[in-house]
């Protein structure tokens, strides 16, 4: 299925039915009095988060969603029927905004979370309600209220604990294949990954986290080079970002330090909040480096980069170092869930060293 993470839709709630002015007319009852009923309520439109949906493709083609109007009231004290509501099922992680005001209407982060998008109009009042001791034959009634109408932007941000960030062909897809059951496409050319992939990483029997792999980012993405910044929003909900670096790029003249710094600058250009998220360095494809030179080469790269945070040496292809990485991630996530301050203190005390 084609992955769609943005869509614009229109929602039109139903109009309320009109009240009616009517009088009872029966044999032998010449002055039966008012009996006009109320109009029915117009249908409302709701959005519901559904874990079984992972793309907004349905809303790329079905853009207008219109609820039915309520029925008008009738004589003999008969009220109009209210219209059925419309429920739009959307992926968990969908952000809903008003395109006119930019206001965020809802953020669907829990399965079966239900929010009102457009409220149906209330039905009008029949003349039955206007009778009194001084107004025994009221001819007043009210019309039904119009339903709300909005143009909405749907934006899907995948829900994941850990996000993978890196240049094309850094080995992000291979890494998520190595540590989870996800099977994204892997090939020896840039931009093999064209849409985000999610994988459940099970560390122990009852310990797991979700990892997200997004298409590679290159220098100049802010100007639309490559796939641009389009998919970076899928890292917005993550609690930890893994910066994956290819230690043995195809081109031997590649400046790894420059590439790593350029990628971080692109991240900062896109969103300062995303740039400030906790970020670890993952040096991949170390199996292609001679064992006696591996440690020295990696330490030299880290020193030239000026990196002071945690970093790991892995080979996603052979699985070397991946287990230590996933255990370190799981420990960090559990600590930050308990107390972010304690987690930061633990990282400083333990000085997570490079792992193979």
Chain centroid, CA 100 distance in Å: 20
Beta pairing class for 86-91 and 45-50: parallel
* Residue 213 and residue 176 in contact, taking contact as beta carbons nearer than 8 Å: yes
Give pLDDT, residue 227.
Answer: 52
* Alpha-carbon span 65 to 87, nearest angstrom: 10
Give pLDDT, residue 279.
Answer: 92
Give pLDDT, residue 274.
Answer: 84
Thinking of the domain 162-350, which architecture would CATH place it in?
A: 3-Layer(aba) Sandwich (3.40)
Q: How far apart are the first and last CA of the chain?
A: 37
Give pLDDT, residue 57.
Answer: 87
Alpha-carbon distance values, 10 to 66, 67, 91, 353 (Å): 8, 11, 18, 52
Alpha-carbon distance values, 319 to 176, 178, 200, 285 (Å): 11, 6, 16, 10
* Alpha-carbon span 282 to 286, nearest angstrom: 10
Give pLDDT, residue 2.
Answer: 56
Domain ranges of the chain: 6-156, 162-350
* Residue 11 and residue 45 in contact, taking contact as beta carbons nearer than 8 Å: yes
DSSP state of 247: S
CB count in 10 Å sphere of residue 320: 16
305-308's contacts with Cβ under 8 Å and 24+ in sequence apart are 305/257, 305/260, 305/261, 305/281, 307/281
Give pLDDT, residue 49.
Answer: 94
Give pLDDT, residue 313.
Answer: 93
DSSP state of 142: -
Give pLDDT, residue 159.
Answer: 81
Residues of the chain with confidence (pLDDT) below 50? 1, 226, 339-356
Give pLDDT, residue 350.
Answer: 38
Query: Phi and psi (nearest 5°) for 215?
Result: -55, 150
Give pLDDT, residue 346.
Answer: 43
Residues near 294 by beta carbon (within 8 Å), at least 6 away in sequence? 286, 313, 356
Alpha-carbon distance values, 25 to 7, 32, 72, 127, 347 (Å): 55, 6, 20, 15, 84
Residues near 57 by beta carbon (within 8 Å), at least 6 away in sequence? 1, 2, 3, 4
Question: Whose CA is closest to 42, among 65, 14, 76?
Answer: 14
Give pLDDT, residue 308.
Answer: 87
How many CA atoms does the CB half-sphere of 313 hold within 13 Å?
21
Query: Which structure tokens are listed for 109?
Result: 């982060």
pLDDT per residue as tens digits for the range 198-247: 888 998 888 889 888 887 666 665 555 545 566 778 788 889 999 999 88
Give pLDDT, residue 356.
Answer: 36
Give pLDDT, residue 191.
Answer: 56
Query: Which structure tokens are listed for 272?
Result: 């300062």
Give pLDDT, residue 83.
Answer: 96
Give pLDDT, residue 116.
Answer: 96
Specify the CATH number of the domain 6-156: 2.70.210.12
């Amino acid at each position: 299925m084609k992955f769609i993470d943005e869509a614009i839709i229109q929602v039109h709630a139903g109009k309320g039915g009109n009240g009616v002015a009517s009088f009872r007319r029966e044999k032998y009852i010449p002055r039966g009095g008012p009996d006009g009923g109320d109009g029915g309520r117009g249908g409302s439109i709701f959005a519901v988060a559904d874990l079984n949906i992972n793309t907004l493709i349905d809303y790329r083609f079905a853009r207008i969603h219109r609820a039915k109007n309520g029925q008008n009231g009738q004589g003999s004290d008969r009220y109009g029927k209210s219209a059925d509501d419309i429920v739009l099922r959307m992926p968990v992680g969908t952000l809903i905004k008003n395109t006119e005001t930019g206001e965020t209407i809802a953020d669907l982060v829990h399965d079966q979370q239900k929010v009102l998008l457009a409220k149906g109009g209330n039905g009008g009042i029949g003349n039955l309600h206007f009778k009194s001791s001084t107004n025994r034959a009221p001819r007043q009634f009210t019309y039904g209220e119009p339903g709300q109408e909005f143009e909405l932007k749907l934006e899907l941000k995948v829900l994941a604990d850990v996000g993978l960030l890196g240049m094309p062909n850094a080995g992000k897809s291979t890494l998520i294949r190595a540590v989870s059951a996800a099977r994204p496409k892997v090939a020896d050319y840039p931009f093999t990954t064209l849409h985000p992939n999610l994988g459940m990483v099970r560390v122990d029997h009852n310990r797991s986290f979700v990892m997200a792999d997004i298409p590679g980012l290159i220098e100049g993405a802010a100007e639309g080079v490559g796939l641009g910044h389009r998919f970076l929003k899928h890292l917005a909900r993550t609690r930890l970002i893994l910066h994956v670096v290819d230690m043995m790029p195809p081109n031997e003249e590649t400046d790894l330090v420059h590439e790593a710094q350029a990628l971080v600058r692109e991240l900062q250009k896109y969103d300062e909040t995303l740039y400030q998220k906790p970020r670890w360095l993952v040096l991949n494809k170390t199996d292609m480096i001679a064992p006696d030179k591996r440690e020295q080469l990696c330490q030299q790269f880290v020193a030239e980069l000026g990196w002071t945070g945690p970093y790991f040496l892995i080979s996603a292809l052979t699985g070397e170092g991946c287990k230590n990485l996933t255990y370190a991630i799981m420990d960090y996530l559990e600590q930050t869930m308990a107390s972010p301050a304690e987690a930061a203190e633990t990282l400083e005390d333990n000085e997570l060293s490079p792992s193979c």
